[in-house]
């Protein structure tokens, strides 16, 4: 629908659909949290990625912001202020930016690059605002007062590595499927761009392997550092949290590396077959 302006009612409908799907998808994994006891596992982040790509920045941004507030509030049983302070602006800015970047020039290569940029920016905004609010305004995390920046970076890493594979692996085929099912709502470039020929396996692989190596390195450092030293720094509240951090960084790093290697191996096998 490039060059054609959608009606206001259609814009509202698409935004509401994005919000509803994102809220439902997020709620399904809402009780799987990070090692710090907060910060949800959220593969549903692929939904605003799809809507931002197909329908533009406002629909993806508004849908993500409203959807995350609904999911967080449903989990806690009341309007959840920390979500309004942190997750809402983080989701809106991130997926608005993503939609804006994809709207300027579409390609699957740009989808890979913009996904990495968006997830990093959105998670930095959300993590820092969330930890600061819970620590200094609500006083829920008093142990983090001196190390809240490092804890925020931990949340950024947690969300980034658990979201990126879903956006990159599920996003493109889902976008193509929706574009094919509703051709009147998607740009011609999206409908006609073949995934197999346009997505560089090398770029896809490196997008997985770079953060994978970084996560694995952090996990190894934690594993070989005196636990009491880390606890003294108050980056972890307890030995249980510290074990969770170690498992999170090691497992996420290994998984991302394996995914990257599998993609590279598939590329080599494809060349060999030719």
- Per residue in 137-173, pLDDT (tens digit) is 998 888 788 889 988 998 998 899 889 999 998 999 9
Residues 135 and 169 both lie in one domain? yes
**Domain for residue 81, yes or no?**
yes
* CATH code of the domain in which 118 resides: 1.10.1760.20
Residues 38 and 144 both lie in one domain? yes
Residues 26 and 65 both lie in one domain? yes
Residues 151 and 250 both lie in one domain? no
Nearest-CA neighbor of 44 among 61, 29, 65? 29
**Domain for residue 190, yes or no?**
no
- Rounded to an integer, the average pLDDT of 97-119 is 92
Residues 242 and 171 both lie in one domain? no
Quick check: 60 pLDDT over 80?
yes
- Domain boundary, last residue among 185, 218, 236: 185
**Domain for residue 193, yes or no?**
no
- Domain boundary, last residue among 133, 157, 185: 185
**Domain for residue 195, yes or no?**
no
In this prediction the pTM is 0.86
Domains held by the chain: number: 2
> 3-state secondary structure string, 104-167?
HCCCHHHHHHHHHHHHHHHHHHHHHHHHHHHHHHCCCCHHHCCCHHHHHHHHHHHHHHHHHHHH
- Domain boundary, last residue among 159, 185, 211: 185
Q: Which residue has the higher pLDDT, 106 or 48?
A: 48
Residues 15 and 74 both lie in one domain? yes
CA distances 8 to 59, 92, 235, 255, 260, Å, are: 11, 19, 48, 43, 42
Quick check: 53 pLDDT over 50?
yes
For position 3, what pLDDT does the model report?
A: 43
Query: What rounded mean pLDDT belongs to the chain?
Result: 87
Residues 173 and 43 both lie in one domain? yes
Residues 241 and 207 both lie in one domain? yes
**Domain for residue 22, yes or no?**
yes
For position 2, what pLDDT does the model report?
A: 43
**Domain for residue 34, yes or no?**
yes
Structure tokens that stand for 162 in this block: 């658990």
- 156, 124 Cβ separation under 8 angstroms: yes
Long-range contacts of 186-192 (CB under 8 A, 24+ apart): 186/1, 186/54, 187/1, 187/2, 187/54, 187/106, 188/2, 189/2, 189/106, 190/53, 190/54, 190/106
Residues 53 and 175 both lie in one domain? yes
Which DSSP category does 43 fall into?
A: G
**Domain for residue 191, yes or no?**
no
Residues 181 and 211 both lie in one domain? no
Per-residue pLDDT tens digits for 182-228: 877 777 788 777 776 556 677 778 888 888 898 899 889 888 988 88
Q: Which residue has the higher pLDDT, 4 or 241?
A: 241
Residues 38 and 75 both lie in one domain? yes
Quick check: 65 pLDDT over 80?
yes
- Rounded to an integer, the average pLDDT of 24-40 is 87
Residues 157 and 256 both lie in one domain? no
Q: Which residue has the higher pLDDT, 33 or 136?
A: 136
Structure tokens that stand for 206 in this block: 């490196």
Residues spanned by the domain of 22: 10-185
**Domain for residue 1, yes or no?**
no
Quick check: 177 pLDDT over 60?
yes
Per-residue pLDDT tens digits for 231-253: 887 777 778 888 888 888 899 88
For position 268, what pLDDT does the model report?
A: 55
């Amino acid at each position: 629908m490039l060059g054609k302006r959608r009606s206001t009612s259609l814009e509202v409908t698409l935004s509401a659909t994005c919000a509803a799907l994102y809220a439902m998808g997020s709620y399904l994994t809402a009780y799987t949290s990070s090692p710090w006891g907060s910060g949800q596992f959220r593969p549903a982040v692929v939904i605003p990625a799809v809507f931002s790509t197909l329908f533009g920045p406002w629909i993806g941004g508004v849908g993500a912001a409203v959807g995350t507030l609904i999911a967080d509030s449903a989990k806690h049983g009341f309007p959840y202020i920390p979500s309004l302070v942190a997750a809402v602006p983080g989701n809106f800015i991130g997926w608005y930016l993503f939609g804006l970047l994809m709207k300027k020039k579409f390609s699957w290569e740009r989808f890979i690059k913009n996904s990495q940029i968006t997830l990093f920016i959105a998670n930095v905004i959300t993590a820092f605002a969330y930890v600061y609010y819970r620590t200094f305004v609500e006083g829920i995390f008093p142990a983090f007062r001196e190390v809240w920046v490092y804890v925020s970076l931990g949340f950024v890493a947690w969300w980034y590595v658990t979201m990126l594979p879903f956006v990159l692996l599920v996003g493109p085929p889902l976008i193509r499927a929706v574009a094919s099912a509703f051709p009147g709502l998607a740009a011609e470039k999206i409908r006609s761009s073949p995934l197999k020929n346009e997505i560089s396996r090398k770029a896809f692989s490196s997008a997985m392997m770079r953060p994978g190596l970084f996560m694995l390195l952090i996990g190894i450092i934690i594993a070989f550092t005196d636990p009491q030293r880390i606890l003294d720094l108050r980056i972890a509240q307890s030995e249980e949290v510290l074990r969770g951090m170690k498992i999170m960084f090691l497992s996420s790093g290994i998984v991302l590396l394996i995914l990257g290697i599998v993609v590279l191996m598939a590329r080599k096998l494809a060349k060999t077959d030719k």
